[in-house]
Chain A
Amino acid sequence: MTAVFLVASAFLASAVEFVEALTIVLASGITRGWRSSLAGLGAATVALAAIVAALGPALTYIPISALRLVVGGLLLAFGLQWLRKAILRAAGFKALHDEAAIFEREAGEARAAGRIERAGLDWYGFTLSFKGVLLEGLEVAFIVITFGGTQGNVGLAALGAGIALALVAAVGVLVRGPLTRVPENAMKFAVGAMLTTFGIFWAAEGAGANWPGDDASLPAVLAFVIVLSSAAVATLRRRRMAFA
């Protein structure tokens, strides 16, 4: 059960972040040239893989209860951020993420920027692509390391992220434009719920509490988080309608 959660969480979180990274890589590639953009993408991917490869095995040396306490706390803080934003977007209190608008803005800024060549590459295009992929990918690396490390299976979490990367890249090549039809907020909602669920579960275990039924209580915690979030969306929607 936890293996399914592990792969699904890593896949969904990675897919959302890679969709956002694809928008930046496309804006860079179309306006500044594909060579620099793809070089930036490649360099950022290598940097992210190095972070996961270095930190993932290092976590196995930390005692599991301490690891679960710290990772649970981090995931909870992190998951609540995702969940809060997804709830506010679903209820209409925050604008939905608009990949087409972001693409236009990034492409406009890239067109206006001057050209500086370094190492045979257009430096603006390279750094735009590199920074975009690295910053979006850091959240993926964080999730892969923490989820995988706590479950003792970084490889499985990396597999979920790898499948998402391959899927987003393949669709990006086919569509040749920002992926505007991806239900990003629904995916962010799901990721926020999963991060919060694992955060609650591991932080409580790390603090020494024993869940009734051990791992079997994980779906119940997830159901609790989903019901709580859905109720929050319904309440906020009603409130917004009342004020409209």
Chain B
Amino acid sequence: MRRLRAFGRFWWDFVVGDDWRAAAGVVIAIGSTAALVAAGVDAWWLLPAAVAFVLCLSLRREVRSSSG
């Protein structure tokens, strides 16, 4: 059980890293792109905008926590 947990922890750290919100933002942005495309909107522009938003939020959180 402990080894299974360590294995899961390793892959979580590997893919998601120390900011799960950024990874969740990526998943939501990809899902939204697919939904817009299904609705007939060619939403190629959504992911770049979402990445800018997610990256800025993630950096702001990190800077605030390191500044105390």
Show the binding face of A for B, using Cβ within 8 Å: 69, 72-74, 76-78, 80-81, 83-84, 87-88, 93-94, 138-139, 142, 196, 199-200, 203-204, 206-212, 217, 221, 224-225, 228-229, 232, 236, 239, 243
Given A87-B59, A196-B51, A225-B51, the answer on whether A209 and B26 have CB atoms closer than 8 Å is no
Q: Which of B1-38 contact A (CB under 8 A)?
A: 14-19, 22-23, 26-27, 30, 33-34, 37-38
Q: Which residues of B contact A74 (CB under 8 A)?
A: 15
User: Nearest-CB distance from A61 to chain B (Å)?
Assistant: 22
| B interface SS class | helix
Nearest CB of A to B12, in Å: 11
B residues apposed to A, CB below 8 Å: 14-19, 22-23, 26-27, 30, 33-34, 37-38, 42-44, 46-48, 51-52, 54-56, 58-59, 62-63, 66-67
- If the complex has contacts A77-B26, A207-B30, A209-B37, are A84 and B62 also in contact, measured as CB distance less than 8 A? yes
Please name the residue on chain B nearest to A73 by beta carbon. B30
Are A83 and B44 in contact (CB-based, < 8 A)?
no
Tell me, rounded to whole Å, the shortest Cβ–Cβ distance linking B59 to chain A.
Answer: 6
Q: Would you call A239 and B42 a contact (CB within 8 A)?
A: no
Q: Is the interface of A mostly helix, strand, loop or mixed?
A: helix
Partner pick for B22 among A84, A138, A200, A225, CB 8 A cutoff? A84
A224–B49 Cα distance when bound, in Å, is 10
Show 13 A/B contacts (Cβ-Cβ < 8 Å), sorted by A. Answer: A69-B34, A76-B47, A77-B17, A80-B26, A84-B59, A93-B62, A200-B48, A203-B26, A203-B33, A208-B33, A208-B37, A228-B51, A228-B52
A204 and B62 contacting across the interface, CB-CB below 8 Å: no
Residues of A within 8 A of B59 (CB): 84, 87-88, 232, 236
Residue numbers in B under 8 Å from A76 (CB-CB): 26, 30, 47, 51
Contact residue among A69, A83, A211, A212 (Cβ-Cβ distance under 8 Å from B55): A83
Choice from B23, B54, B56, B63 contacting A93 with Cβ under 8 Å? B63
**A207 and B63: CB pair below 8 A?**
no
